Amino acid sequence: MATNSLTGTLRETLALFDSPVAPWTTSEIASELDLGRRSTYDRLERLVEQDRLRTKKVGANGRVWWRPPATDDTGDRDGHTEFDSLVDPVEEYAIFLLDPDGHVRTWNSGAHRIIGYTEAEIVGQHVSTFYTAADCDDDAPQRNLRAATQAGEVKDEGWRVRADGSRFWADVTITAIRDDDGELTGFAEVTRDMTERHTHEEQLRQEHDFTQWVLNTAPVGVVLFQEDGTFTSANQRADELLGLDDEPHDIDGNEVRDENGDPLAPSERPYMRVFDTGEPVRGEQLHVPTGDGDHRWVAVNAEPLTAEDGAVERVLVTIEDISQLKHQAERLERERNQASSELDAIFERVDDAFFAVDDDWRFTYVNDTAADLVGRSTAEMLGACLWDAFPRITEGLPRERAERAMETGESTEFEFYSDPLEMWVEIRLYPSADGLSVYFRDVSDRVAREQELEESRRRYQTLIDNFPNGAVTLVDEDLQYVTVGGTPHDVGVDIPADINGTALEEILPPDLSELLIPRYEAALAGEASSFEATLDGGCYRFEIVPVRDDDGAVFAALGMSQEITERKEYEQQLQRRIRQQEAVATLGRQALETEDLDELMADTARLVADVLDNDYSKVLDLAPDGQELRLRQGVGWTDGIVGSATVSATENDSQAAYTLASADPVRVDDLATEERFSGPDLLTDHDVRSGISTIIGSVDDPWGILGTHDTEPKEFSQQDVAFVESVANILAPTIRRQQDEQTLRIQRERLAALNDLNEVSRELTTAAIEQSTRDEIEQTVCDYLARSESYTFAWIGDVDTATGTVTMRAEAGVDGYLDDITISVDPDDERGQGPTGRALRTGRLQVTNDIRVADHHDPWREHTEQYGFKSSAAIPIVHEDTVYGALNVYADRPEAFGGDEQDLIAQLGEIVGHVIAAAERKQALMSDELVELDFHMDRFLDELGVSMPADERITFEKAVPGSDDEFLVYGTATPGAVEAVHDISDALDHWEAVEVRDNGDPQRFEIRMSDPPILSTVASLGGYVEEAVVVDGDIDLRIHLAPSVDVRRVVDAVEAAYPTAELRRRRQVTRAAADPQRIQRELLSRLTEKQRGALEAAYHKGFFEWPRDAVGEDIADSLGVATPTFHQHLRKAEAEVFDALLSTETPS
């Protein structure tokens, strides 16, 4: 059947299938034709009946339609073959079949073009391959297949993924395919690439959103009208103005009135007129209702929106609320009418004569006063010409001025004497566009008074011109100069020669106008005033009084002024001098009464700054070395620097240094221009510009500096300088008196402290000797010092070698002093810079005379302040170069540890060290418990370059301490080893001399050693060398120590002296109860170190042999003491030994 035999609707439907595209679903065709589904189905059925289309059922209720090829002679081919032949050439659609599980079965060229996979690559793959990862996670592929299975067909739009990973926006239709029995055999999927359309739609949506946003934020209402009078859209402002809503409807039923208030029919409204005429309407004012029942005035613009053929399709209307402008215009109109009525009433009440003429000089208004003055009635004058009605009155000056006013349009006023009226007349002319307004009045009485006043003014002028030492000004009621006389002041006022009639504000500068004009106004009101003011650095006195006529009426004001600068300066200087004298007297009384020097200095600083009206004041204390000055007291300075800030006493930039070098006080008017010095940081950091400084004390022996400063340049008077010098002269004797008293007090305190120390030393020596342990000795020392009146508390600490910090050993007068602080001996640690750390490092006494200014106490400042001490001493406890620890003593008085007291307290450390060493030696001698250290040194002799035959032996038996760190060492050597003893002496610096005493076997020898490293360390710790033996070139050394001794120090000493030394054994040994040397140790423990040394040296040198091997002089020489001293020590030792042996209490 030919296509042209079809109806128009069928041809329209069939035309959709002209292109070889994919099959269409019923819904797609209905959408393209804009028909209902039922009507579309009817058309398609008719085309199938005419063999124009093919159709196939898909899913439960779905169906697809396609147009067969023009020649269809394959009647025996199955539906799939025909379907494939149709879809394969279609490139605009991806058309493919899926099996029931969603795997791809077929693939057309459109699918390859759109999605990118070849048929070989994709067949067998699951449909989820085309979905994004997010959609797969959301189960979208399976969900779409389930939906198609249930509904027969499902449509979906969304992002899909191509073979190359890129995305495209897809319009997808999935249709379930079933066999004749209704079983699901797979799915047909049709996919269109809608990316371009999607992007375009998104762009349109954004443009629409932006347009809508612009409309909604526009300050005017916008409405779009259709030709039937309904509106299709309106912005938020239109809704606010007209009360519209979002649904399209007409507003013809709303009452709208035009500018005159008449109702406006819908057909006459602006938007309808635009539809009728095609011309825009602009600026039309309408009265419209609002949504809340009210009305408002709006200005309306209506613009046509035309189609391509020029026909008006819609009208765009903008609406602006002009209610406020309308109301204002109405109010102004009412006010104008009211003003016109009031003006008429005012003219009637004007006292002056008044008339008005038009531009032809004809009377348009005449009040009764004017008519009476010229002797005519109002009726006669209205309409008449001014010049014709009153030729004699108006001739001359009046007419000339009136015509000029009309010509120039400028107001004017003048006075003249009218012969016809026999009076002085004042006339004021006010031209306008319509004519001229004229006010005139009789001023004859005023002119007569003015003439009388003129005579008075002449008399005043004579007085004014001769006014002494000042200026006189006469001012009229209009605040205009009448005259100026006398001697005008130089205050920046330029007085012209012709000043009469000039307003005050035109002559006076703003500051003078503000000062004087209110006073002149008050005088003109009858109120006189008298006052003083400072102008341009000068001081002036003003008198402004009213000037009255004979009736008492004020007609002018008289101002008189006199410069009183010198008088005021004298008064101020006098007052300042009185204040300074009172301040000096006050400080003098306080200086005699006070005992607190710092309080006096602080009060002085405050008083000097207050009296001189300065920002700063200071008292600088010169250091004993004369190198710097400390800010002892002051006012105005930055918080925290008083007491600590310093300035140089020698550098050229210091005002204080310059003052010390000057015999006279130093005055600085402006530091910025000062050439003698530039100012130290203390002044420049506080923006100081001026000041005075003077020496406290004599030039030859200054105590310090008194200074006062200001941040502004100042010219100080000589009286100011004398005042500062007087205050310094009060401070100097007070300081000297207090220094003398302090010196006496310190001397008394030191004498008491020396007595206390001597007593403590005596008691300590006795008590310490009675103590058996180091702990008891140290606690006894602290107890005695804390109980004395000279000291507040004491403690002893030593070094923890593991941490390098100080640990507490004993304390008294305080509890837990080291609990919350750390003291180090590390020189690189700020906590190691204090007195204790330095005393332990150096072995020397460390004294702090004033804790408050000692920087090395800063790490513990907050801790130490709570104990209230002012000075301290850290005393190393030393014996034989061994530092046992540090004794710290504290006093509540500054400078407590000077002079003899310092020497004595330093000796205390040596005494305590000696007592501790003696106690530890005694403990080592008497204790049943000992620490035994065995050292071995391989190749000892080889290291020294000394040889000794095999089987020879050197034994060191006894070491006796001498003087000045010397020791006498006694021992024996086999005959073949004697030469090795001499060689060792040559090799070791501390072996000073060797003496072989006999030729026996073995032979005995004595070695004098100076500061031997091992012996000195062991002896300082109270230990002793039990035995040392050299055999086969090696040496074995055994040392005994008390259990309380720091063994590490001995080990370090041995290893430092002999690096090859090896500690082979360390053990705690217990002496046997029947130790044969017990009595010997008991006897030796009764002796002092010197007594024991003398006895042992005498024994080993053969003093007790007969005949004697050595005499006392030899032994004394070996010990490094005088012979009588040796004999004294020996006799005392013998007495102690014999007493112990022969007394009734024989030691066990």
CA distances from 372 to 42, 61, 392, 399 (A): 109, 114, 17, 21
622 pLDDT higher than 70: yes
73 pLDDT higher than 70: no
Domain at 771-911: CATH code: 3.30.450.40
Prediction pTM value: 0.36
Prior bond of 488 cis (ω within 30°): no
Half-sphere exposure (CA, 13 Å, Cβ side) for 1021? 23
CA distances from 565 to 171, 213, 540, 541, 573 (A): 101, 74, 7, 9, 12
Q: How confident is the model at residue 71, as a pLDDT?
A: 46
Q: Quick one: what percent of the chain has pLDDT higher than 90?
A: 19
632 pLDDT higher than 50: yes
CA distances from 969 to 993, 995, 1110, 1118 (A): 10, 10, 16, 11
Q: How confident is the model at residue 460, as a pLDDT?
A: 56
What tens digit of pLDDT does each residue of 216-233 get? 666 778 888 888 878 777
Q: How confident is the model at residue 692, as a pLDDT?
A: 93
Instruction: Confirm if 995 and 971 have CB atoms less than 8 A apart.
Output: no
Q: How far apart are CA 1053 and CA 771, in angstroms?
A: 28
Give the mean pLDDT of the chain: 82
What tens digit of pLDDT does each residue of 105-159 get? 999 888 899 999 998 899 989 999 999 999 999 999 999 999 999 999 999 999 9
What tens digit of pLDDT does each residue of 576-606 get? 778 888 888 888 888 788 778 888 889 999 9
* CATH architecture of residue range(s) 3-200: 2-Layer Sandwich (3.30)
What tens digit of pLDDT does each residue of 990-1022 get? 898 898 877 788 998 989 888 888 887 887 777
The stretch 1063-1080 carries a mean pLDDT of 71
75 pLDDT higher than 50: no
Q: How confident is the model at residue 690, as a pLDDT?
A: 92
Taking 3-state DSSP, the helix, strand and coil percentages for the chain, each rounded to the nearest 5, stand at 40, 30, 30
Domain boundaries, the chain: 3-200, 218-328, 350-442, 467-563, 569-744, 771-911, 927-1071, 1074-1148
Assigned superfamily of 350-442: PAS domain (3.30.450.20)
Range with the lowest mean pLDDT among 154-158, 524-528, 908-912, 924-928?
924-928
> Regarding the domain delimited by 467-563, which CATH topology (the fold level of the hierarchy) does it fall under?
Beta-Lactamase (3.30.450)
What tens digit of pLDDT does each residue of 664-720 get? 899 999 988 888 888 788 888 899 999 999 999 888 889 999 999 999 999 888 888
725 pLDDT higher than 60: yes
527 pLDDT higher than 70: yes
Phi, psi of 179 (to 5 degrees): -85, -175
Q: How confident is the model at residue 525, as a pLDDT?
A: 92
**Residue 193: partners with Cβ closer than 8 Å, 6 or more residues away:** 94, 114, 168, 169, 170
The total of other beta-carbon atoms located within 10 Å of residue 120's CB is 8
Q: How confident is the model at residue 74, as a pLDDT?
A: 43
744 burial class (0-12, 13-18, 19+ CB within 10 angstroms)? exposed
Q: Could you tell me how far CA 709 lies from the centroid of its own chain?
A: 31
The residue behind tokens 């009040």 is 367
Q: How far apart are CA 107 and CA 118, in angstroms?
A: 8
> Regarding the domain delimited by 569-744, which CATH topology (the fold level of the hierarchy) does it fall under?
Beta-Lactamase (3.30.450)
Residue 1119 is classified by DSSP as H
Q: Quick one: what percent of the chain has pLDDT higher than 70?
A: 87
Q: How confident is the model at residue 550, as a pLDDT?
A: 73
The residue behind tokens 């020590």 is 1129
Q: How far apart are CA 886 and CA 847, in angstroms?
A: 12
For the segment(s) 218-328, the CATH number from 3.30.450.20, 3.10.20.600, 3.30.2090.10, 3.30.70.120 is: 3.30.450.20
166 pLDDT higher than 90: yes
Q: How far apart are CA 651 and CA 629, in angstroms?
A: 11
Instruction: Confirm if 1034 and 1058 have CB atoms less than 8 A apart.
Output: no
Q: How confident is the model at residue 374, as a pLDDT?
A: 82
Q: Which residue has the higher pLDDT, 61 or 501?
A: 501
The answer to whether domain 3-200 and domain 350-442 are alike in fold is yes
Q: How confident is the model at residue 43, as a pLDDT?
A: 86
Residues constituting the chain? 1148
459 pLDDT higher than 80: no
Q: Which residue has the higher pLDDT, 637 or 1129?
A: 637
The residue behind tokens 């002079």 is 899
For the segment(s) 1074-1148, the CATH number from 1.10.10.10, 3.40.50.300, 3.40.50.11440, 3.90.550.10 is: 1.10.10.10
